[in-house]
Amino acid sequence: MDKPTSKTIDLHCHTNITDGRDSPERMARRAVELGIWLGISDHLDTEMYLKNDREVAGYYDRIRSLSVYTGIEVSIEPRLHVSTDLLDRFDYTIAALHQVDGQSLFHPDFVCRNIDTIIGRMIDHVDRFLGLYSFDILAHPTLIPRAWWIRPETVWSEKRLEQLVDVGIAHGVAFEINARSMTPLPKFVEIAVSKNARFSVGSDSHRIQSLGKLSYPHRLIDAYQIPEEWFFFPKSKI
């Protein structure tokens, strides 16, 4: 195979440089065994990972030496705290919402009076951050605070889904279909397809065992017959 397809690519995974378990070298070898095209996209996050230009440059150099695409998952924060010249070096960049107004989406005790207001704030955060830099991909759209994970479809109104689709399209990002969090919601994909949006595929693996396990994205690709040319693929060769 000389170039990836939507069914043979995985553009989202983590290594032990940030919160993954396995080394980048091990992840890259596993991708070869599986016959998939892999992008490594470790976290850039002010408080925890790849906190400054020096750490990002070191990460980039290590990933670039492997036969994988160089990616980075940048947490949506009030501002971008590394130089954009550094981000430009990567084969692709992912923006990802992990917190809203300082509260982590993963915290079990996320405090909120009205979830629709929070969803509105989340969309505002995404909109503002995508204006700071030209990102290629928006990670796990429609991911919400953990307390609502059991019934996410009851939290997102069609109006809010459409707002997020419109924000992403306005900023030119591809919407990631994420296997780990099973996001976005199918209804989001339906709306995005009706507006000719772009997409990408990621397992969000944090260990070699889940690399290439992409049944959720592949199912949605088939269900909505998303055309191959609507997918984001890095331009560089690996």
Binding stretches for Zn ion (CB under 5 A): 73, 96, 139, 204
Decide: 164 and 141 in contact? Cβ < 8 Å.
yes
Nearer to Zn ion, 72 or 96 (CB): 96
Minimum CB separation from Zn ion for residue 42, in Å? 8
Degrees to nearest 5, angle at CA 214 with 176 and 37: 80
Q: Of 4 and 20, which has the nearer Cβ to Zn ion?
A: 20
Helix extents (H) in the chain: 24-34, 53-64, 84-89, 115-130, 158-170, 186-194, 215-223
Nearer to Zn ion, 8 or 210 (CB): 210
Please name every residue paired with 183 in a beta bridge, in sequence order, or none if there are none.
178
Within 10 angstroms of residue 140's Cβ, the number of other Cβ atoms is: 25
Of the candidates 182, 213, 231, the one whose C-alpha atom is nearest the C-alpha of residue 4 is: 231
- Residue whose beta carbon is closest to Zn ion: 96
Find where tokens 């405090």 sit. Answer: 111
Closer to Zn ion by Cβ: residue 101 or 222: 101
User: What one-character DSSP code corresponds to residue 171?
Assistant: T
Report d(CA 159, CA 92) in Å as an integer. 30
Q: Which is nearer to Zn ion, 104 or 157 (CB)?
A: 104
CA distance 85 to 61: 14
Angle value at C-alpha 211, between 66 and 135, nearest 5 degrees: 65
Give the nearer residue to Zn ion in terms of CB position, either 96 or 211: 96
Q: How far is the CB of 208 from Zn ion (least distance, A)?
A: 15
In whole angstroms, how close is the CB of 179 to Zn ion at the nearest point?
Answer: 11
Minimum distance of Zn ion from residue 1's CB (angstroms):
25
Minimum distance from CB of 108 to Zn ion (Å)? 17
* In the complex, minimum distance from the CB of residue 69 to Zn ion, in angstroms, rounded to a whole number: 15
